[in-house]
Amino acid sequence: MGRAVDLFVTYRFLKLLTTPFEKTDAFKLGIIDKDGHRTKLPKSTKPAVELTTSELKNSYTILHKLIFNIKKLFAKVPGLRTKVGTYAAALFLLKDTFKEHVEDPDMFEKEFMKYLKENKIELDREISEEVIGFGEVLPKGEYVLKNDILNKEEEELTAKKGDKVIAFEDEAPVDTILGVEIFPVIHMKSQEKIYVSLEDITDE
């Protein structure tokens, strides 16, 4: 049973990752726009389409939200070379969210790497000078985001580049994804916990 669930979630993950927003059921049903953003009522912050039926709910699950946001991160990257840290943090959210539903929680990482290889997308694994010296612990303190960061509770990318985050105490990594350590911090604007790599933050 576990293997069957793995295969199904893997299929859904890759299907959503490779399908243009305009060809998803969420777009066809008016839930999202062509850029993957939730459609809103005119002059309002309320969604244009409420998820009131099974069809609507199944077309816009938490898996959809996370993968749509990963696709938005891709859209922000010029060319086919991208920093590994940003996607490591995003994949951690997928792994953490679905860890109880799949037999192999590392399959998101494996399939993501396979996807990058097949699409000739190169990850930049060079360590930025700004993060050298942190060691294996994120020291207590305030930091500034260098990249937009996903939050699984939000439909949009609410933790933006330039926002402040804080570690209230020295933090050990919660996981290692794509060879990158992931740390929890509090996004000061929303007071929500988010997950970052050391490449995503600066102390300047």
Which two tokens mark 155?
């439909």
What is the residue-averaged pLDDT of the chain? 82
Q: What is the pLDDT of residues 11-59, one digit of tens each?
A: 788 888 888 899 999 999 999 999 998 999 988 888 899 999 999 999 9
- Helices 2-18, 62-75: inter-axial angle, 10-degree rounding: 40
Q: What residue spans of the chain are helical by DSSP H?
A: 2-18, 25-28, 54-58, 62-75, 84-98, 107-118
Q: What is the mean pLDDT of residues 164-169?
A: 94
Please list, in sequence order, all residues whose beta carbon lies within 8 angstroms of the beta carbon of residue 14, skipping any fewer than 6 positions away.
Answer: 111, 115
Question: For residue 46, what is the DSSP state?
Answer: S
Q: What is the mean pLDDT of residues 199-203?
A: 86
Identify the band that residue 70 occupies on the pLDDT scale cut at 50, 70 and 90: confident
Identify the band that residue 198 occupies on the pLDDT scale cut at 50, 70 and 90: confident
Q: What is the mean pLDDT of residues 136-142?
A: 88
- % of the chain residues with pLDDT over 90: 29
Identify the band that residue 111 occupies on the pLDDT scale cut at 50, 70 and 90: confident
